[in-house]
A and B are shown apart, each in its own frame.
Chain A
Amino acid sequence: MGTLGKLQALRSGELSAVENLERFLERIEKMNRELNAFLQLNPRAREEAEEVDRRIGRGEGGRLSGLVVAVKSNINVLGLRATCASRTLEDYVSTYDAEVITRIRREGGVVVGMTNMDEFACGSSGESSAFGPTGNPSAPGYIPGGSSSGSAAAVAAGLCDLALGTDTGGSIRNPASHCGVAGLKPTYGLVPRHGLIDLGMSLDQIGPLAPDVHGLSLLMECIAGKNPGEGMMLEVERVSYELEGDVGGMRIGVCPQFSFLTDPRINEVVERKVERLRELGAEVEEVSIPHLEHALSAYYLIVSVEFFSATRRYDGRKYGKRIEEVCGEEVLRRIAMGSYISRKEYRGKYYQRALQLRTLIRKEFSSAFRRVEVLVGPTVPKLPHRLGQKLSPLEMYAYDYLTVPANLAGICAGVVKAGEVGGIPVGIQVQGPPLGEEKILRVMRALEAGA
């Protein structure tokens, strides 16, 4: 049963919100020990589901009508722990609801719990959580990807209907690809960030993970749109997407730089899907993003500076612990890098160069989108490694090679499962211009339907 089928069952009363929740809680009970996808369950979830059932009875179930939502642990949910999977915030109980949570509640969503992640979203494997790594239900023994590891794993294992992740350089798309689920990083400024615990403020976006593209679209319709007062938001009231459009005649771009450093087995899976789009009548065209290979460096320089700034509040005086005293290695490394390159004397050499490269990447994407409507390609250049296998920091960063450009350019990008390599899921990435969500969701839906 897809997301729409589930929604239908809830609205018709065939399934109550409480029943829906309880089925998930049973599965979580059975599977979470192994997966470590959830760090905390919502003790009030049942009450909240009962309330939604009453609302459904009055015909006020909202868009979500009792769908069960898992929330990444860097998003504030009043009364639950937004630990960011770090010792720094292990005792931090959220003092307020993030704006997206307010909206999900309004639409009748039931928050089931807080998911595991890479510590402070600094990671691409799901292993750097202070509370242990997350498993990959679709490829046991392999990393689930990160940083939204728990949200992707929970969706893949059927532990929730929908999940919220966050994506700064691929943190939704990377685990979606490795776990074989759908994920979307919205255009920067489309989804409110109030309540999202920062990694890189100019790159972070909250976005949905779901078993199918309809689920992504539905959750986007609930959480997207401007938040009065919040500074960095686009002038978009609300969104609504029509997914069943024809991709025939659509101009779809492929890019040589995407496949250049990518595992040929992954390229092969992606190419089969591109072929499928051609069969559906899309015009496939080659476009170039000449400086793509430099995006990764620019990304890590920018994100380090912003993360350094964002972590200055974790001084242990108001809540939690002093970050440098308790954090893990990758978090400390990024703070050290950010502290180093934001020094007055190094600004020009690192930070400013990185910001200049960001301009270049933006320009190249925007000229590509003058020629084609969307870009398709691989999501992660490598297959996931086995859990516990040791990678150097630069090897780990290389996972993000194909996902960071979208964050640097502020555009939207989604991932849907394209196939498998040796039993490991491989996702195809569809990127679109700013506010091009409907287009990419349509292409993703066509890919999913033709699977």
Chain B
Amino acid sequence: MRVRARGEDWRREVERGAEEILQALSRSLEALPAEEETYYLPEFPRALREDGKPSSEGERAAFRKRLLSLAPSRDEEGNLRSEAAGWAR
């Protein structure tokens, strides 16, 4: 079982390790011929979605309940509660 050491040191260690791994990985790509970049695999149809009647209210109401029950904090009107912004204080 893995030991969960969760200090700042551990975090920094992992991040430093990440950079080393990146160097190792990118070395392998340096000498390769330049090519176009492939973001997307096959040629997907570029069709857009038609505007139209929105989703049903019942479906959304059921989802709303689940959304609110998952939220760490919420108010009686149904807003989620998050932190206040620093600049607004």
Say if the two chains contact directly (CB < 8 Å): yes
Q: Are B2 and A328 within 8 A (Cβ)? A: yes
Contact pattern, A 286-325, Cβ under 8 Å of B = 1, otherwise 0: 0000010110111011000000000000001111000010
Q: Complex Cα distance A75/B75, Å? A: 30
The verdict on A356 contacting chain B, using a C-beta distance below 8 Å, is yes
Contacts of B14-38 to chain A: CB distance below 8 A: 14-15, 17-19, 21-22, 24-26, 28-30, 32-38
Q: Complex Cα distance A317/B22, Å? A: 31
Q: For the complex formed, measure the closest distance between the CB of B53 and the CB atoms of chain A, giving whole angstroms.
A: 14
Q: For the complex formed, measure the closest distance between the CB of B55 and the CB atoms of chain A, giving whole angstroms.
A: 11
Residues of A within 8 A of B18 (CB): 333-334, 336-337, 340
What is the interface size of chain A, counting residues whose CB is below 8 A from a CB of the partner? 59
The verdict on A349 contacting chain B, using a C-beta distance below 8 Å, is yes
Q: Are A189 and B44 within 8 A (Cβ)? A: yes
The verdict on B61 contacting chain A, using a C-beta distance below 8 Å, is no
Residues of A within 8 A of B63 (CB): 95-96
Q: For the complex formed, measure the closest distance between the CB of B23 and the CB atoms of chain A, giving whole angstroms.
A: 10
Q: Are A360 and B33 within 8 A (Cβ)? A: yes
The verdict on A359 contacting chain B, using a C-beta distance below 8 Å, is yes
Q: Are B22 and A95 within 8 A (Cβ)? A: no
The verdict on A235 contacting chain B, using a C-beta distance below 8 Å, is yes
Q: For the complex formed, measure the closest distance between the CB of A414 and the CB atoms of chain B, giving whole angstroms.
A: 18
Residues of B within 8 A of A294 (CB): 28-29, 32
Which listed segment binds B: A139-147, A225-233, A251-259? A225-233
Q: Are A360 and B44 within 8 A (Cβ)? A: no
Contact pattern, A 338-351, Cβ under 8 Å of B = 1, otherwise 0: 00110000000110
Q: Are A356 and B26 within 8 A (Cβ)? A: no
Q: Complex Cα distance A145/B56, Å? A: 43
Q: For the complex formed, measure the closest distance between the CB of A242 and the CB atoms of chain B, giving whole angstroms.
A: 24
Partner of A319, one of B33, B37, B40, B70: B70
Assess A229 versus B49: contact at CB under 8 Å? Given A189-B44, A202-B40: yes
Interface of B (DSSP majority class): loop
Residues of B within 8 A of A91 (CB): 70
Total A-B residue contacts, Cβ distance less than 8 Å:
127
Contacts of A54-109 to chain B: CB distance below 8 A: 91-93, 95-96
The verdict on B66 contacting chain A, using a C-beta distance below 8 Å, is yes
The verdict on A188 contacting chain B, using a C-beta distance below 8 Å, is yes
The verdict on A42 contacting chain B, using a C-beta distance below 8 Å, is no
The verdict on A126 contacting chain B, using a C-beta distance below 8 Å, is no
Closest to A361 in B: B38
Residues of B within 8 A of A333 (CB): 14-15, 17-18, 21
Residues of B within 8 A of A393 (CB): 17, 21
Q: Are B37 and A317 within 8 A (Cβ)? A: no
Closest to A299 in B: B25
Residues of B within 8 A of A324 (CB): 11
Residues of A within 8 A of B32 (CB): 291, 294, 353, 356-357, 360
The verdict on B72 contacting chain A, using a C-beta distance below 8 Å, is yes
Q: Complex Cα distance A14/B36, Å? A: 58
Q: Are A341 and B2 within 8 A (Cβ)? A: no
The verdict on B41 contacting chain A, using a C-beta distance below 8 Å, is yes
The verdict on A41 contacting chain B, using a C-beta distance below 8 Å, is no
Q: Complex Cα distance A95/B59, Å? A: 11
Assess A298 versus B45: contact at CB under 8 Å? Given A95-B70, A328-B2: no
Closest to A330 in B: B14
The verdict on A214 contacting chain B, using a C-beta distance below 8 Å, is no
Contacts of A416-451 to chain B: CB distance below 8 A: 434
Q: Complex Cα distance A227/B24, Å? A: 40
Q: Are A336 and B29 within 8 A (Cβ)? A: no
Residues of A within 8 A of B35 (CB): 356-357, 359-360, 363
The verdict on A15 contacting chain B, using a C-beta distance below 8 Å, is no
Assess A189 versus B29: contact at CB under 8 Å? Given A95-B67, A328-B2: no
Residues of A within 8 A of B70 (CB): 91-93, 95, 318-319
Extra pairs beyond A202-B41, A231-B44 (11, CB < 8 Å): A95-B67, A235-B45, A291-B32, A318-B67, A324-B11, A329-B14, A337-B19, A353-B32, A363-B35, A393-B21, A434-B42
Q: Which 10 pairs of residues, A with B, have the shortest CB-CB distance? A: A410-B41, A355-B37, A336-B18, A319-B70, A95-B66, A297-B25, A297-B28, A359-B35, A356-B35, A359-B38
A contact residues vs B (CB 8 Å cutoff): 91-93, 95-96, 127-128, 132-133, 187-189, 202, 229, 231-235, 291, 293-294, 296-298, 300-301, 316-319, 324, 328-329, 332-334, 336-337, 340-341, 349-350, 352-360, 362-363, 393-394, 409-410, 434
**Contact sample, A vs B, 8 pairs, CB 8 Å cutoff:** A296-B25, A300-B25, A334-B18, A340-B22, A350-B22, A354-B29, A358-B37, A409-B41
